[in-house]
Amino acid sequence: MVFNSFTFLIFFAVVFGLYWLLPGWAARKWLLLIASYVFYGAWSPPYVFLLLASTFLDWWLARLIGRSADPRRRRWLLVASLAGNLGLLGYFKYGSFLLDNFAVLLASAGIAWQPVDAGIVLPIGISFYTFASLSYTIDVYRGEMRADSKFSDYALFVSFFPHLVAGPILRARNLLPQIAAPRRPTLNEVGWGLALFCFGLFCKVVMADALFAPVVDEVFAAPGKFGAADTWAAALAFSGQIYYDFNGYSLCAIGLALCFGYAFPDNFRHPYAAVGFSDFWRRWHISLSTWLRDYLYIPLGGNRGGAWRAGRSLMLTMLIGGLWHGASWMFVLWGGLHGFYLWAERLLQRNGAVAPDEGRQRLRQVLTFVVVTLTWIPFRAPDADTALGILAGLFRSGLPPMLDLPGLAAIAAMIFTVAWHMSMRERRFEPVIAAWGKSRQLATVTGCLAAMYLFSGGDQRAFIYFQF
């Protein structure tokens, strides 16, 4: 049941209507909890019990941590939470990956062994709800939160359907207080929430799927067939596809939550206007980058201990962040490259080689975007051969352009996107739209709906981050 499906629209309409009809706050929360489990069960009913077990484990362990004054016991309870969550994540997401690589290692030593196919199916959203749930027990252990939430409230925090399967990765400290306090959305909140949902679907259906995806799919399927112009068009197109796909989902999630009166944090802030890679990660997938910073980078040492230790912490954090995206060495490579960029940038800044200079900001923005675009190649490529083929194609001459209008449209749309991000770099989306006035807002929403209707034919694509 994806957001860009008729089934989900019916589901949302029923839940939203019942939410407004129910008189009590407790009843409305129970409605959202049941609806969230129905939503998740529509993907794979057996994994509802996995979600419930993971939720109960962290809620119970957090209560034990909160009640204990013994530092040693608190530490072991936290270890139990980490082991339970990461154990489930490791089994379902990385079990086959580890066995396959172990078989390769044995083969290099002359030992033939083929692991049995266990038929493991990755539960959708497990990477997202595991990180959200873990943040609660860690915050309670650190004394930053009280473990006094009711189980039903905590279960709603973990499973609330707008963010459940692909984020944003919420923190309990942000959402649990909203769940605890009675709320009913205003008409303005509902209107803005529906508008954000519409904008998000437009980003997904029109921009990501109709405009960018065909160019990306054609070139990445056979990189040796295409010359430099087409390959660059595909690389730029994937920068657009991944942004509009994931930002589109985030806008949908934020808008849906707002329709029920809940405020989710922004997940993107014009990332292709970033000046450097630290700035990029302050703007891209913000809920993940801040989670990695607070629960991994800082505990590893953060900025303490000199350049070497900080660089090591950065590399480990980004390698794990890459692996979080999927059980593939290509994701590890992608994360490692970003770790290297961040480390190198920090060393240059410490040595005064990257001093603030307004005159060079635009050049640094363009350079950051180009390097980020090139680094998306291993993220998109299914294997090293495809990635190397795409990189070689960026410099291949002698082949005429084959994509014609679709490739040109993708390039033009990406130029517009980068220019839009640069013009909006220090501004928020909401005030700009609010200043347009009702008639222009209505015309924009109507235009988005019309475009979605025109481009909604063909195969329905799931959001890219559903696979993570």
Catalytic residues: 325
For residues 276 and 347, the answer to whether their CB atoms sit within 8 Å is no
Q: How far is CA 265 from CA 256, 283, 464, in A?
A: 13, 12, 20
Largest CA distance in the chain: 72
For residues 7 and 39, the answer to whether their CB atoms sit within 8 Å is no
For residues 154 and 136, the answer to whether their CB atoms sit within 8 Å is yes
Among 284, 305, 32, 310, which residue's Cα sits nearest to residue 163?
32
Own/partner contacts of 23-30, CB < 8 Å, gap of 24 or more, are 25/182, 25/183, 29/152, 29/153, 29/156, 29/179, 30/152
